[in-house]
Structure 1
Amino acid sequence: MAGETGPIADTVSLSISMVIAGLFAISVYNSLEIYISIYRTFRRRQGLYFWSAICANTGIPILSVSSLLRFFALAPAGPMSIVIDIGWWMMVTGQSLMVYSRLHLVIGDPRKLRWLLCMVIGMFLFVQVPVGILFIANNYYRGPNMETPITTVFDGTEKTQLVVLSLQEVILSGLYVYEWANMRKQIEITKGRKVQTMFHELVTLFVVVVALDISLIIIQFANLFEIQVTYKPLVYSIKLKVETFVLNNLVELVSSGGNGPELPRGLMTMDRAVHDDDPWRSRRTPSLGARGGNDSELPVPKKTVSI
């Protein structure tokens, strides 16, 4: 378990080392593409949606570069483990907050939104932080054989963390599909055939998230620590690409003008005052969970750039 407690340069073959470096390079390249797309797409560079996307994307190169330096003994394992934790927290929690930040477009119940936000915050405080502390301790307090009781505990809790985080991501992305399926026929009155296309994109997002999370869990439970650390930034960079593309299309559809009669206000219920009181929600984005129509006074975002 050299990878969990320190460098791996002397324990893996040259071919494995090249694969590790290559996967990290792809992750960083994807991150650069996402930065360009974010700054070309967002006209208003503020709010939870924008900053959580920036946070998640910044975590990818931080995690990749620090892991590479630690694996090949180019930097001390202890300090690098702290940087790795910071990158991991930014990447995972930032991505979950980004997906959460647009849920108000399809969920009209503010209580559900608050519970989902509590889930994301609780996952960070009670799952990610303890596992991160174990990882740091594992790199600072190594035994003569590179393994300690901390290593065993960390190995088990890390697997649990990955499963729980994957479940959280499946819940968040699945809610878009579930809620959109329930309201899409009503929204088609004002939004037309684009609603069906949006539904297909949300289903694709859900399938991609589930497939990538399952592949990551398989590698994790195969005890291929070096590979799964390499694979994680790549997985999250791919998910972030798909999520930003689909969610930007969702925002554009909600903000665009309808092509039919306005829906009755009673079709979908949500207290608009709650919208104004929610500090986590964009105040300039209309909500399909609240109304079937669109808000003509709201600015239309720039056309989404495919990433």
Structure 2
Amino acid sequence: MANYSAPVEGIAGGYTGNSLAVQAVLASLLACALYSSIELIILVFLTFHVYGGLYFWSLLVSTGLGIIPQAIGLLLKYFQLAPLWIPVTLSTFGWAVMVTGQSVVLYSRLHLILSNRTILRFVLYMIIFDAIILQIPQIVLSYGAVYGGVRFAYVYNIWAKVQLTGFFVQEVIISTIFIVQTFRLLYLYPHRSKRRTNIMEQLLAINTAIILMDISLLTLEYLDLFILQTSLKTFFYTVKLKLEFAVLSRLVSFVHYDPELESSTFTGSN
């Protein structure tokens, strides 16, 4: 029979310990996430000459309406600085925007190296499906865990693992498609310069780093280190979005380096 007597700390309230080290780590992670988010928003507006397009808006929305509310909500919740409904609302909806926005960012830059409409459509439908199936129950359970008692908190803890695993699989699928396409292009043009190879290696390293961050978050989630996992997750998502921003500049450099490659990439059969 399930044990409802000891819900994981942080799900239905703030941090109840008295460790200054833990408090310092949590505050530092969330403060760094806020700082990096503001910095990224400034970089986006300074870098883009045209304020439009899926990549621009997904990056901006995921940062401004996702990470920032999530970080503020967790700060208010874990340090008990506001009525509980305020941080719960900020962190719950901030997380939904943050994680789905990250996937849309991944999807939007696939267009630079992939012209197969079937694959692109599959990725888009997968993002929409996961957003509906995984996010809506999470929103309901987030409020239930706070106001519905320990049974809701118990179910929330289970669903949080399911949800994080689902989004991990989604990001791995998108990153794998990107990596496979990257290798394909590198294989088709092995005689090009060392510069091209360096760019591709950097892109692969960035995608590998993103996957490793997701694995570490999954590990913390399954260890029931909820407060650390959510704080680190918020920080990691700023890092991931910054890496995605770096991916853009390298992809642009990669595509524009060779007009022949650009033509074969964007006009290939679907």
Task: Report the TM-score when normalising by structure 2.
Answer: 0.89
Partner amino acid, structure 2, of 1:39: F
Contact 1:123 1:165 (8 Å CA) reproduced: yes
How far apart, in 1, do the equivalents of 2:243 and 2:31 lie? 19
**CA deviation after TM superposition for structure 1 residue 257, in Å:** 5.4
The 5 Å alignment of 1:87-106 reads 87-106=94-113
How far apart, in 2, do the equivalents of 1:201 and 1:129 lie? 36
**CA deviation after TM superposition for structure 1 residue 129, in Å:** 2.0
Residue matched to 1:210: 211
2:111 partner SS:
helix
Out of 67, 70, 77, which is 1:70 matched to?
Answer: 77
Partner amino acid, structure 1, of 2:19: S
**CA deviation after TM superposition for structure 1 residue 17, in Å:** 1.2
Residue matched to 2:164: 162
Residue matched to 2:135: 128
Residue matched to 2:182: 180
**CA deviation after TM superposition for structure 1 residue 174, in Å:** 1.9
Partner amino acid, structure 2, of 1:79: I
Residue matched to 2:3: none
Residue matched to 2:4: none
> Structure 1's 291 and 78: CA in aligned 2 closer, same or farther, altered over 3 A?
same
1:7 partner SS:
coil
Q: If each structure's helix is expressed as a fraction of its own residues, which one has the higher value?
A: 2
Partner amino acid, structure 2, of 1:250: L
Out of 20, 23, 29, which is 2:29 matched to?
Answer: 23
1:34 maps to 2:18: no
1:46 partner SS:
coil
Residue matched to 2:227: 226
**CA deviation after TM superposition for structure 1 residue 187, in Å:** 4.8
1:252-293 Cα offsets, whole Å, 9 max, x none, are 432x2537xx4797xx5xxxxxxxxxxxxxxxxxxx24359x
> Structure 1's 221 and 12: CA in aligned 2 closer, same or farther, altered over 3 A?
farther
Contact 1:102 1:247 (8 Å CA) reproduced: yes
How far apart, in 2, do the equivalents of 1:61 and 1:263 lie? 38
Residue matched to 2:267: 290
**CA deviation after TM superposition for structure 1 residue 141, in Å:** 2.4
Contact 1:170 1:209 (8 Å CA) reproduced: no
1:183-213 Cα offsets, whole Å, 9 max, x none, are 2244567x74443122102211221011101
How far apart, in 2, do the equivalents of 1:227 and 1:263 lie? 44
Contact 2:146 2:153 (8 Å CA) reproduced: no
2:252 partner SS:
helix
How far apart, in 2, do the equivalents of 1:264 and 1:113 lie? 18
1:51-102 Cα offsets, whole Å, 9 max, x none, are 0000111211211111110112211112321211111011111111011012
Q: Which runs of 4+ in 1 moved over 3 A?
A: 185-189, 191-194, 262-265
Contact 2:73 2:91 (8 Å CA) reproduced: yes
1:153-189 Cα offsets, whole Å, 9 max, x none, are 1101101111111111111122111012112244567
Partner amino acid, structure 1, of 2:77: R
Partner amino acid, structure 1, of 2:161: K
In structure 2, list runs of 5 or more residues that go unmatched.
Answer: 1-7
Partner amino acid, structure 1, of 2:169: L
Partner amino acid, structure 2, of 1:126: I
How far apart, in 2, do the equivalents of 1:91 and 1:5 lie? 21
Contact 1:137 1:150 (8 Å CA) reproduced: yes
Contact 1:173 1:205 (8 Å CA) reproduced: no
How far apart, in 2, do the equivalents of 1:183 and 1:240 lie? 24
1:102 partner SS:
helix
1:140 maps to 2:143: no
% same residue: 31
What CA RMSD, in Å, does the superposition of the two structures yield over aligned residues?
2.2
